[in-house]
Structure 1
Amino acid sequence: MRKIAVIAAAVASGLCLSANAATYAYVSSPGDGLISQYRLDQDNGALTLVEQIQAGDQVNPMAITPDGKVLFAALRVKPFQVLGYRIDSKTGHLTPFTQAPLAESMAYLSTDRKGRYLLAASYGADLVSVQKIAKDYQPSANVLRYKTGLHAHSIRTEPSNRFAYAGNLGTDKVLQYRLDAQTGELSPIGSGYVSVPDKTGPRHLAFSPNGKFLYVVGEMSGTVTAFSIDHTTGALTQIADANGIPARLKLAHGEVRDARNNDLKDDPTPRIWAADLRISQDGKLLLMSERTSSSVSAFAVDPSTGGLEFLDNYPVQEQQPRNIAFSPDGRWLLVTGEKSAKVGTYAVSKDGALTRVGEAASGKGALWIEILQTPDA
C-alpha cells in the first residue's frame, strides 16, 4: 500500500560522495506505520517525496547496511520483528524481502561496521541484543541477549568495529563491550561500564570520525559527555562535558520517562528532554535535539583533543524534534518532529547556526531517520 505524505531526514551513512550522486532520506512514522522515501537536493536542501510504503504498526528504529544495499526496520508491537528491504542502487526504491524475530520491542537499531551483525537496544526490556546477518542479508533467528540496567537506549560499534557501546539511561551508565568478529558475542570491558552523574540519562551516541572519541547525550541533563577510547582495550575515559541548555530556555532538570509517564502529564514543569546527537563529517560540529523547547543545540568539537564547547541553541519549527541528521556533505540538517505535520530542512553554518530553507509533509509521529547516497540514475 502506498500513500502520499510524510517526511525525510538523515543519518550520515559514510558512503562516498561524488559529483554525480542522488541522496535519499528514509523516515519511519510509527503512528501510521509508514516508511517514506524522499530525495534531497544537495544544491538547495529541497526535499521531494518519492514514495511511501506501509511497513507495519509502530515501525520505529531503522538501520542501513554499510554497503547501502539493505534497510532494516523494527516493529515495536508483538510479534517483535525486523523487516528487511532491498534498496535499488539507482532509484533508492525499497523492496521488502525478508523478516526475522527480535528479542523484544526495540528502541534502537544499528549494524556493526562490516554489516555482519544487527544490534538492538530495548528500553522496556532492559537489554541489548546481537544477531548475525547472513550473506543474503537474512538476520538470524538466533538472538544473543545481554541484560543491562534499567532502560537501555542505544548500541553502536566504533569505527574500528572491535568495540561496542550502549547508552543505559536508567542507570546513568555507558556500557562498554568487546565485539567478537567471528561470533558476534559481546564481552564486558573492565567493569563493563563507566558512570556519569545521577539523572544524566545517557541516550544516543556519536563517534568522532577518527575513532578516538565517543560523545553521549544526556536525555535528562541536556549535556554532552565526551570520552576517549583506549585504542587497545576499548575502555572509556571521560575527558569533557558541556551543557547544551541555556538558561533562557527555562527548563528544569529532566526525569526518567517510560510507558507509564512518557509525557509527564501530571507534571506541568517544563523539563529537559534531549534526544538525538549527530556529528559532522569533519568531526568539528556536534548537534543535539531537545524536545520540550523544540530546539537544537550546537557544540564545537576539537578533533585532536575531543574537547567540547557549547556554541548556541536554535529553535526549530518541528514540534518535539526526535531525530536530526546531517546531509552527507554536512550543508543541511533534516529535522523530524513527533508532533509536527512537517519535516524541515535547515542550512547549517560552520558555527552551527540553523536557517530554515524548506519543508515537506510529515507522517504521523515521524521520528527515525536514515540517509543514503547512491549513484545518480
Structure 2
Amino acid sequence: MRNWFLISGLTSAILAVSAMPLYAAEKTMTSTTPHFAYVGTYNPNGEGVYRFKFDSKTGALSDKTLASQLPNQAQMVLSHDGKTLFIGSEIDNYNGGKHGAVAAYRIAPEDGNLTLINQVDSQGAGPVYLSLTPKGDHLLVANYISGVVAVFPVDASGKLSEASNSQQDSGPAGAGKPAAAAEGSFAISDHNGPHAHMVATDPSGKFVFSTDLGLDRIYQWKLNSESGVLEANDPPFIKASSEGAGPRHFVFHPNGKVVFLINEEASTLTSYRFDAAKGTLTELHSLSSLPAGFKGSNFAAGIVLSKDGKHLYVANRLHNSIAQINVTGEGAMTWSDETWTRGDYPRTLTLSPDGKYIYAMNQRSDNITRFKVSGENGKLSFVDDYVAVGSPSQMVIAP
C-alpha cells in the first residue's frame, strides 16, 4: 500500500537509504569503531535521510543529523563493505520524466556523512525496494508504480552505471478483495495493474525473485552475472497463495532451502520450498500474521528473520503490532506472540547486526521504537526510548 500523495508533484533530484541484503554477512562491530544508522523518510514530515550515531552495546540511537535532503528518500541498501549507501527516491518525475531515481552515496568513516557519487534513472516510477547481488556488483530495483524491475551494474568505487536490463510486469490485475483476509477486512489496494514490490536474488546470486502486489504473482528469473540481464525462468511466475493476497516482501531461511513471504492485503505468511538447482519455488504452508479472533482491516508490511532462523517478525499496520512467528528450516510456521509497537503504522522492521534489538519504523506516528529480543525464546520487550523521526520508512545500520 503506497503513499501516492507524497510522490506525485515532487521535483527531480533524489535519494536516500536501504536495507542490508537478506543473506549478506554482517561485519562484527567493535566498541572502538564508530557506527551509524541511516533512516529514510517520506515528505513532508520527513525531510530526507537522517544519520544517527548507533551504540552497538545498548542499541540506542543519538545525534540525529539530516544527511541528505532530497524528496521521498525512503528506500535504501548498504554495500557489503559498508562504504556505500544506495538510495531510492520514491517519485515519478525524475528529471521531468515519469520515472524515479536511484543514487549512490559514499559514507565518511569518521562521521558518517554522505557524499553523492552519482544518480541514475530507476527505469520506472516509484522505486520501493533496493537489493544487491551477493558479489555486490549489481543493484536490483523494484519500481512499484509502473511494475518494472531493473538491474544496475556497480563498480568497485560504488558508482552506478545505467541499467543493464529492465523487465515490465504484465498481466491481468489480481482479485480486488483478499480471499484469505480477516473477517470485515477492507485491506484493498492497487489491484489495478502491475506493482512490483520487491526484488532480490537467492543466496547463490544465480536466480532472482520479484513480487508483484497488483498482479498477485511471484516472478522467477535467471540472472546472467556477466551481462546483468534477467531471463524468465520456467515457469516465469507462480500465483500468490490466495486470491488478492498482495505478495510484498520475502526472506530466505539461513539454510537456503526455504523462503518466507508476507502477503500485504491478506496479512498472511506463506512458506515456499526453494529448488536451488532450478531456481523455482513450491508453496508449502500459509499462516495469518494476526492473532486468532482478530476482525477488521490490516496491511502486513516489513519482515525480518532472527539470526538463528527460528523466529520471524512481521509488522502489522493498523493492528500496530509486531507478530512473532516461530519457524523451522523445513518451512513450518507457528504463531507465537504479538507486541504493540507503541506507534502507528509500522512500515518496516530493522534487526540490529548482533540480533539483540528490533526497531519499528512507525510511519504515521513519526517515531522509531526499539525492542530487545530474548535470546531464549525470541520474545520482544519494549525499550522505553522513543526516537522522533518524521514519516520513517526504512533504517539500515553501518559501521
- In the superposition, the TM-score normalised over structure 1's length comes to 0.86
**Identical aligned residues as a percent:** 27
Q: CA deviation at 1:302?
A: 1.1
Matched to 2:148, the amino acid is: L
Deviations 1:131-160 (A, max 9, x none): 111233221123521011421100011211
> Which residue does 2:382 correspond to in 1?
356
Displacement over 6 Å in runs of 4+: none
**Cα separation, 2, equivalents of 1:317 and 1:346:** 10
1:61 aligns with 2:78: no
Query: 1:334–1:22: structure 2 CA closer, same or farther, 3 Å change rule?
Result: farther
Q: CA deviation at 1:360?
A: 4.1
Structure 1 unmatched runs, 5+: 1-7, 252-270
Give the counterpart of 2:337 among 312, 316, 321: 312
Query: Within 5 A, what are the aligned runs for 1:1-377?
Result: 11=20, 14-20=25-31, 21-31=33-43, 32-77=46-91, 78-79=93-94, 80-104=100-124, 105-149=126-170, 150-195=194-239, 196-251=241-296, 271-303=297-329, 305-349=330-374, 350-372=376-398, 374=399
Q: CA deviation at 1:93?
A: 3.0
> Which residue does 1:3 correspond to in 2?
none
> Which residue does 2:178 correspond to in 1?
none
Is the Cα–Cα contact under 8 Å of residues 68 and 114 in structure 2 kept in the other structure? no
> Which residue does 1:5 correspond to in 2?
none
**Cα separation, 2, equivalents of 1:53 and 1:22:** 16
Is the Cα–Cα contact under 8 Å of residues 76 and 106 in structure 1 kept in the other structure? yes
Query: 1:182–1:90: structure 2 CA closer, same or farther, 3 Å change rule?
Result: same
Q: CA deviation at 1:98?
A: 1.7
Is the Cα–Cα contact under 8 Å of residues 324 and 334 in structure 1 kept in the other structure? yes
Q: CA deviation at 1:94?
A: 2.2
Is the Cα–Cα contact under 8 Å of residues 219 and 238 in structure 2 kept in the other structure? yes
Query: 1:315–1:360: structure 2 CA closer, same or farther, 3 Å change rule?
Result: closer
Q: CA deviation at 1:76?
A: 2.2
Is the Cα–Cα contact under 8 Å of residues 9 and 324 in structure 1 kept in the other structure? no
Deviations 1:17-63 (A, max 9, x none): 24445543211112133211223323333221352223301112111
Matched to 2:101, the amino acid is: Q
Larger RCO, structures 1/2 (Cα 8 Å, 6+ apart): 1
> Which residue does 1:254 correspond to in 2?
none
CA RMSD of aligned residues (A): 2.0
Is the Cα–Cα contact under 8 Å of residues 342 and 359 in structure 1 kept in the other structure? no
Is the Cα–Cα contact under 8 Å of residues 131 and 199 in structure 2 kept in the other structure? yes
Give the 3-state SS of the residue equivalent to 1:170 in structure 2. Answer: coil
Is the Cα–Cα contact under 8 Å of residues 9 and 25 in structure 1 kept in the other structure? no
Greater shift in the superposed pair: 292-301 or 362-371:
362-371
